[in-house]
A = this chain, B = another copy of it.
Amino acid sequence: MNVPTPDSLGPSHVAPPVEDPMDRTRFPIDPWRLVETRFSGDDLGTTESLFTVGNGYLGLRGNYEESRDAYHDGTYINGFHETWAINHAEEAYGFARVGQTIVNAPDPKVIRLYVDDEPLHLSVADLLEYERSLDLREGVLTRDLIWRTPAGKNVRVRSRRMVPLGQRHLCVITFEVTLLDQPASVALSSQLLNRQDVWHEFGDQSAGRGVAEGGDPRKAETFQRRVLVPDFDHADPQTGRLCLAYRTAESRMSIGVVADHHLSSRVPFSSKVESEDDMAKVIYRVAAEPGVPITLTKTVAFHTAQSVPPRELLDRCERTLDRTHEEGLEQQFADQRAWLDTFWSRSDVEVHGQPALQQAIRWNLFSILQASARAESQGIAAKGVSGSGYGGHYFWDTEVYVMPFLTYTMPWAARNALRFRYTLLDSARRRARELAQKGALFPWRTINGQEASAYYAAGTAQYHIDADIAYALSQYVGATGDDDFLHREAIDILVETARLWADLGFWRDESRRTFHIHGVTGPDEYTTVVNDNLYTNVLARFNLRRAARAVDELAVDDPEAYAQLVRRTGLAEGEAAEWADCARAMAIPYEEHLGIHPQDMHFLEREMWDLEHTPLEKRPLLLHYHPLVIYRFQVLKQADVVLALFLQGEEFTPEQKKADFDYYDPITTGDSTLSAVVQSIIAAEVGYHDLALRYFLSALFVDLDDRHSNTADGVHVASTGGVWSALACGFGGFRDIGSAQGGSQWKIDPRLPTSWDALVYRITLQGTRVRVTVRADQLELCIEEGSGPLTFDVRGKSITLAADQDDGRICVPLTHQGPRLKGEPPHPAGTQRSDGTVISAIVPSGE
């Protein structure tokens, strides 16, 4: 499962993935569960990420309770981080100063089992049965096994683990041991374990700072010093209640963890407790009899804060646990099921006739949920709460890849994510000042609001994050009609981002014919610090227009709110008009002869990289070539122009979309997991149906098939979000044109793959939930909740859906699934430029 396959790197030049790449003898198909039927020590990191349970605040990796076989025992709390001074090897003004790294919180998962003093240790145990499953409707991770001990006694061990989605701070674990044939002495050692400080001496050269493992910038930094400074520990011998409390050494955050235990058995047992700085535990000894289950219930509460004393957090934990105790354990499981029933009714996507894909799709959607449900006042990290990859940072991934799912299926979560950005606005204003700009510049990567990107060329230079946030905001407001949020708070984001663009760009001529934005990096990180990046300029144009429109509308609609806006932001007379003017004149690179949009003003002057003949062992390029080499070439890490074609589709003609896709697709490596979903959507739109499906499968199995060999560091949350977009927008053909621009105008132009019987997805617009069913010959729209009316453009025909008409259900016959192109995009090497010269390609080597 974790063996890199030749096509794990994504581009169309390499062998297509099989439709179902998973080993079904180990991971059988199940529509509502991810199931593993055989223990393997070979891909522990991957399965830990896949079997994570979390709620967007608290996440427990899928480590085994015995915690002996593990790639990385991880427990993460969104936003709970340590800071460190970034030491640049060579300093310069304005470089990011404060490193931020998510902290591995004290581990509540540990329950060690001893039978006749022999420990259960999976990798060496004689397992007669084994099943682990993550139930996507129950929201529970279950493991069920029969262990034949060295003494030949058979023992059933069954555990359940849940992080409730209906609340933030809790996790529940049950651990049940049943001797099947002979009596034995059973011991259970349940722990809270601060693993984060089990650090090693790696030599002095990196002491104290965060160092990414193996120099791979995609991994989290590790510390070679104590991060969690003990504040309090206690273990109550009467109740088995364990408490640990800490402060982080530098960021001065506090954390409290309390675990309650309840052992239930018909046979006698004894217990004792221990606690010290980095561990608290309770140990039960039971004289177990065959057929008599021993059930340990462990409920654990976590509270974290920036400025609350750790011991006060322990009080909060105890209140959480006391309440849970009053409600009873089974109520927690019932609540979880109810919560998920609601979730699936709003968010499920069905693919009929494709059970393997169905399972993978649901796992992807469930992963978005686990990353976002209770993120609340925090952002949504690149790995959610499933791993420490990218240090627990928030990126533009949230806005462009995760927000569409949230906006259209769980808008309250979208609102939280946007309000989180709103709380960063002051830091973003300060950051803009450091970069000598007006307005606000959001950090490229951050936890606490400060820029943490230590490589500005592929970090701070990605100014487009400002427009991405404005875009997601506009999409949310348009889809929900939440004008109140827009007018009271979010409009400030529009104003400050528009200001940044107007100040960052410049008029090269006094007649103000074109407005240029220089020295920025677009989404594609294989060229950096370029002039007039197409994506950036197109999104900045949107940002400027949207801000101008919002301000103008507010002035008319709500003069009082407008006056407050002016007071808050110092908005000047004529500012909005200036933004509109910048937008009007925005430089949009276009090459007449090729009929394509250069990725930046000088992109086509670059040499062409011959991806086809680049050996696989040189992929991904970023790990095998110096940036200076990569930057010289026409070669893409991820979709850039093609992403703009999706997000601002109305700004391009179908011919341009095809030409751009044809040009860029063959030179896109897909070295970023953000790429395949976008390539899938535009491939579907322009008519490359097979390719669209291939990219979709690539994204769908990014983690389930560990296609980038780093799922061990956590789930690729942006890709899981992109999977939804690829389904709803790519194959499902949904486009929210209006809300992106600041109105309400929706199109549906589906592209059902021929191998699928039907595709069903749900979209909630302005409070009305519509179920969209795409079949080869028919599109069905059906109101599932709310009343409408909603009007859709279905291939040029306007369809109005209302609950009080035809039971809120309309069927539209389909005669085709969009254009259908033969073959694949031609490689640009060999084609002619406008100057008549022919494009050739090389592989840089030095040999």
Contacts and interface: CB of A to CB of B under 8 A. Distances in A.
Chain A interface, >50% SS class: loop
Given A204-B225, A838-B509, A625 B94 contact: yes
Contacts of A837: 508-511
Interface stretch (A60-68, A181-189, A334-342, A450-458): A450-458
A272 B743 CA distance: 93
Contact of A529 (B209, B623, B631): B631
A456 B626 contact: yes
Query: Which of A85, A215, A217, A508 lies at the interface centre, i.e. has the most chain B CB atoms within 10 A of its CB?
Result: A508
A627 interface: yes
Nearest to A429: B846
A434 interface: yes
Interface stretch (A19-27, A228-236, A560-568, A600-608): A600-608
A455 B531 CA distance: 21
A510 B89 contact: no
A512 to B, nearest CB: 10
A840 interface: yes
Interface stretch (A366-374, A435-443, A732-740, A802-810): A435-443
Interface string A628-643: 1101100000000000
A185 B459 CA distance: 68
Given A436-B846, A509-B837, A607-B518, A93 B624 contact: yes
B435 A212 contact: no
A205 B225 CA distance: 10
A414 to B, nearest CB: 30
A91 B217 contact: yes
A76 B844 CA distance: 42
Nearest to A607: B506
B91 A215 contact: yes
Contact-size category for A: 35 or more
A633 to B, nearest CB: 9
A12 interface: no
Interface in A431-480: 432-438, 453-457, 459-461
A799 interface: no
A206 interface: yes
A529 B519 CA distance: 11
A457 B435 CA distance: 18
A87 B529 contact: no
A815 interface: no
A828 to B, nearest CB: 14
Interface string A182-226: 000000000000000000000111111101100111000000010
A437 B845 CA distance: 6
A631 B519 contact: yes
B508 A90 contact: no
21 contacts: A87-B205, A87-B209, A89-B96, A89-B455, A90-B453, A90-B454, A94-B626, A94-B629, A203-B208, A205-B208, A205-B209, A436-B625, A436-B846, A503-B846, A506-B842, A510-B840, A511-B837, A516-B605, A518-B632, A529-B529, A601-B602
Q: Which 9 residue pairs of A and B lie closest in terms of their CB atoms, listed nearest first?
A: A94-B626, A89-B454, A509-B837, A204-B208, A90-B455, A91-B215, A436-B844, A519-B632, A90-B454
Given A94-B626, A204-B207, A508-B607, 10 more contacts: A87-B89, A88-B89, A94-B628, A94-B629, A206-B209, A435-B628, A436-B846, A438-B847, A519-B628, A519-B632
